[in-house]
Chain A
Amino acid sequence: METTRRRFLKTGLLAAALLAAGGGWYRHTHPAPAHGFALDGEARAALDAIVPAILAGTLPDAPADRTHALAATTDRVHQAILGLPLSAQQEVQDLFGLLAIGPARRLLTGLPDGWAGAREADVAAFLQAWRVHRLALLRTAYAALHDLVLGGWYSDPAHWDAIGYPGPIKELA
C-alpha cells in the first residue's frame, strides 16, 4: 500500500536536522533520569495516543475495558523499556522527548494540535508513513514502537484466548 505523501514528510532533510538538533536540545534540558526511562507530560500523551493506533483491532469495545486494557499495556511497554540496556532506554527517551516538542511533532507526524486530541486515524497515518519512510531514522522509530507495543500486548496472558493460544502447560508454568 502506497501511503499518501504528506507535506510534513516531504521535508526529509529538514526533519533529519531537526531530529538531531531537537534530540540534542531535549537531552540537554532533560537529563536522563538516574534510574532509566521515565515519561511525563506530552511525552506520556504521545505514548497514550500511539498505543491504541497500533492495537486497533485487538482492543475491547466497552469503554471501561478498553481503558483498562490500554493502561495495562502501556504499563507493560514501560516495563519492557526499563529492561533494555541504558543506552537503548535513552534512545527511546529521546524519541518521546522529541515528540513532546510541538514543532517537532508537527513536522514528523503532521499532527497539528497536542497529543491528547490526536485522532486515531491520523496517528495510524503517520505510523504508516514512518514505516516505509525514506529516512531510516523514522523507519527504526516505527519499528521500535511496533515491537514495544505489540510485544507488550501479546506478552499478557489476558490476550491469549483471543488468538487461540492456550499458553504453556499449566502443571509447570
Chain B
Amino acid sequence: MSNEAVIPDPIRAGLARGWKVIDGAQVDADRDLSADVVIVGSGAGGGVTAEILALSGLSVIVVEEGALKSSRDFKMREAEAYPALYQESAARKTRDKAINILQGRTVGGSTTVNWTSSFRTPPTTLAFWQQRFGLSTYGEADLAPWFELMEARLHVADWAGAPNENNDLLRRGAAKLGIPTGLIRRNVNGCWNLGYCGMGCPTNAKQSMLVTTIPSALDHGATLVTRARAERLVLNGDKADGIDCTLLDAAGLHPTGRRLRIRARHVVLAGGAINTPALLLRSKAPDPGGQLGKRTFLHPTLVSAALFPQRVDGYAGAPQTVYSDHFLHTQPIDGPLGFKLEAPPLHPVLLATTMQGFGEEHAAMMRQFPHIQGMLALLRDGFHAESQGGTVGLTNDGAPVLDYPLNDPVWDGARRALLTMAEIQFAAGATGVQVAHERAPRYASWTEAQKGIAALPFEPQLTRVVSAHVMGGCAMAGAGHDGVTGPDGRYRGLANVSVHDGSLFPTSIGANPQLSIYGITARLASDLAQALTGRPAARPQA
C-alpha cells in the first residue's frame, strides 16, 4: 500500500494549489529571479525566516540544495533516507574524518530528519554569551517570548507517551545512581510513536519546517527553488546584489551546467553552520578580524551500547524522550567539559556503522540487536579556554570542510562520558557494555569497564565520535567584541546580509539546538521584517 492512501501529503496538496516551486534539476536554461529577500537554506533558520517575512508582506525566494521530499517519499528505510535527505549521504566528516556529522540536506533541512528533541537555550549558556560576547539582549527573559511563540507555532509540548525501553533504561539506570533525569519535550502533533523521525516523518506529525513554516510561506506567495546550491554572494561594495546558484541534477551531485542568479534587497544566509561560513568564504566577504568560519562547534558525541536480557527494541517509539543534564552542572561551565546524556534511536545501519569492529565480533553484536540499548553523551564545546571548536575552510573545488581538532580537554570529557554511560547502563541491569572505541572489548561488569575505559587510548578514529549538531562559524557578538555578526544577525561589513541559523551561536548550545534556532531567528526575522517594511512583523501561528 502506498502510504499516501493512509496519510494525506501536504506538499502534493500545496503544489496542486499552485505553490511556486522550481526544481533546479529540471531547469533547462540559465535564469534570473528577483525578490525582496532571498533566503539560502530551508531548515530551522530559513524556514522560520521565510514564514515571518512572507506573512509580513515581503516577496521571498528560498533556495535549497536538497530536494523537495515529503511523507509519501518517507519509507523509513535507511538505504533511501540517508542519501536522499542528508548532507553527503549522512557521512559528512570532519577534515581528519574523526567525527561523523549528521546534517540534513532536503527541504526543511535538519528539521526534516531530526529526532524532535526541543530544549530552550540553557540559561547558563545565555549567561555566558552575555558575559563573554557582549550579547546583552540575549537574556533568558528577553528570549522567553520568542521561545513561547515558536513552541506554540510548532506544537512543542511535553510528550504524553511513556518513554520507550531504550530511553527508560537511561532513566532507571541514572535513578539507581541518584542522577536526576528529565523528560524531553517534542515538536509533534498527532505522533504515531513509530520511531523513524530520522528518516523523515511518514505521518507528517513532526512539526518540521517541511510541514509548517515552508508551506505557510509558500501559501503566502514565497518561491522555493530546490536543487540549487548557493555558490556566492554577488558583492557590490558593502552590499550584496544577490546570489549566484549552481543548479544540481536530480541526485544532487553533479551540476547541470545551468546557473541561477537571484537579485534581492536583502540576503539571509541560513544554510546551517559549515555551509553558511563556507558560502561567505567563497564570496570573499569582508572579514577583517579573520573570525569567519572560526569557532564552529559540534557537540562531540560519545556512544555506548549495552546488552540487556530483556528486549529493548531501540528502533521502536519516540526516539528521544529522556535526558540528563546532571553532568553539565557538576563543574564550572568553563571548567572540564560537561555533557548531556540522551538515548539515540537504533536502526540497523546507524548501529552497525557507529559500532566498531568487523567479522564475527561485529556479527555477534548485531545478532543481539533487539536487546541493545544505546546511550549518547554530548560534550558541551566552546566554553573551556582550550575547547574552541573547529574551523570551516574550503577545498580546492570550493566545498566546505570542517577542521575539528580533538584535544586533551575534549578527550578528558570523552573518557568521563564513557565511564558515566557504562556505569548507568550496568546500574540499569546491562549484562555487557560496549563503548564505541576501536580498542574497547565488551565489558562484563562495571568494575571491568571502569578499569578498561580508564586505560583506553583516546585518539582520533580510535575513539568513535559523532555529532548531529552544528553551530557557530559566524559568531555574533555585541559592540566591542569579536564576532562576524552582530546581535541582530547582520553580517558586519555587508549592509544587507544577515545570518539566521545556528552558525550565529558563539559557543555550542549544550542542548539539541533546534529550538534555540527557532526562537532566536524568529526574533531576528521579525526585526528584519520591520526594518524592511516599516511595519511591525506578522506573528506566525500554528
B358, A127: Cβ atoms under 8 Å? yes
A84, B363: Cβ atoms under 8 Å? no
Chain A residues contacting B75 (CB-CB under 8 Å) are 168, 172-173
Min distance, Cβ B245 to any Cβ of chain A, angstroms: 17
The verdict on B234 contacting chain A, using a C-beta distance below 8 Å, is no
A84, B88: Cβ atoms under 8 Å? yes
Min distance, Cβ B247 to any Cβ of chain A, angstroms: 16
The verdict on B360 contacting chain A, using a C-beta distance below 8 Å, is yes
The verdict on A29 contacting chain B, using a C-beta distance below 8 Å, is no
Min distance, Cβ B418 to any Cβ of chain A, angstroms: 17
The verdict on B76 contacting chain A, using a C-beta distance below 8 Å, is yes
Within 181-238 of B, Cβ neighbours of A (below 8 Å) are at 194, 196, 202-203
Min distance, Cβ B131 to any Cβ of chain A, angstroms: 38
Partner of B88, one of A54, A85, A136, A146: A85
**Roughly how many angstroms separate A53 CA and B476 CA in the complex, as a whole number?**
50
Chain A residues contacting B88 (CB-CB under 8 Å) are 84-85, 88
A56, B353: Cβ atoms under 8 Å? no
B352, A83: Cβ atoms under 8 Å? no
Chain B residues contacting A153 (CB-CB under 8 Å) are 352
9-residue interface stretch from A14-22, A97-105, A111-119, A154-162: A154-162
A150, B89: Cβ atoms under 8 Å? no
Within 361-397 of B, Cβ neighbours of A (below 8 Å) are at 361-364, 366-367, 369-370, 395, 397
The verdict on B33 contacting chain A, using a C-beta distance below 8 Å, is no
Within 117-161 of A, Cβ neighbours of B (below 8 Å) are at 124, 127, 131-132, 136, 139-140, 143-144, 146-147, 149-151, 153-157, 159-160
A171, B91: Cβ atoms under 8 Å? no
Given contacts A88-B91, A147-B353, contact A136 B461 (CB under 8 A): yes
**Roughly how many angstroms separate A144 CA and B358 CA in the complex, as a whole number?**
12
Interface size on B, residues (CB 8 A): 49
B7, A165: Cβ atoms under 8 Å? no
B358, A146: Cβ atoms under 8 Å? yes
**Roughly how many angstroms separate A163 CA and B359 CA in the complex, as a whole number?**
15
The verdict on B134 contacting chain A, using a C-beta distance below 8 Å, is no
Partner of A80, one of B83, B96, B203: B83
The verdict on A27 contacting chain B, using a C-beta distance below 8 Å, is no
Given contacts A140-B97, A155-B78, contact A172 B7 (CB under 8 A): yes
The verdict on A63 contacting chain B, using a C-beta distance below 8 Å, is no
**Roughly how many angstroms separate A147 CA and B352 CA in the complex, as a whole number?**
8
The verdict on A57 contacting chain B, using a C-beta distance below 8 Å, is yes
The verdict on B3 contacting chain A, using a C-beta distance below 8 Å, is yes
The verdict on B175 contacting chain A, using a C-beta distance below 8 Å, is no
Given contacts A84-B89, A132-B462, A165-B369, contact A154 B352 (CB under 8 A): yes
B367, A163: Cβ atoms under 8 Å? yes
Partner of A132, one of B96, B348, B439: B439
**Roughly how many angstroms separate A42 CA and B441 CA in the complex, as a whole number?**
34
**Roughly how many angstroms separate A76 CA and B80 CA in the complex, as a whole number?**
11
Chain B residues contacting A124 (CB-CB under 8 Å) are 358-359
Given contacts A88-B88, A139-B461, A143-B461, contact A155 B348 (CB under 8 A): yes
Would you give 22 A-B contacts (Cβ < 8 Å), ordered by A? A53-B359, A54-B362, A55-B358, A56-B360, A57-B360, A80-B89, A83-B83, A86-B253, A87-B395, A87-B399, A124-B359, A131-B358, A132-B439, A132-B462, A140-B96, A150-B352, A151-B349, A154-B352, A155-B77, A159-B348, A164-B370, A165-B369
What is A's interface to B at a CB cutoff of 8 Å?
A: 1, 35-36, 53-58, 76, 80, 83-88, 124, 127, 131-132, 136, 139-140, 143-144, 146-147, 149-151, 153-157, 159-160, 162-165, 168-169, 171-173
Known: A85-B399, A87-B399, A159-B348. 9 other contacts (CB 8 A): A56-B359, A56-B360, A84-B91, A87-B397, A139-B460, A140-B461, A154-B352, A163-B369, A173-B77
What is B's interface to A at a CB cutoff of 8 Å?
A: 1, 3, 6-7, 75-79, 83, 88-89, 91, 96-97, 194, 196, 202-203, 251, 253-254, 315, 348-349, 351-353, 356, 358-364, 366-367, 369-370, 395, 397, 399, 438-439, 441, 460-462
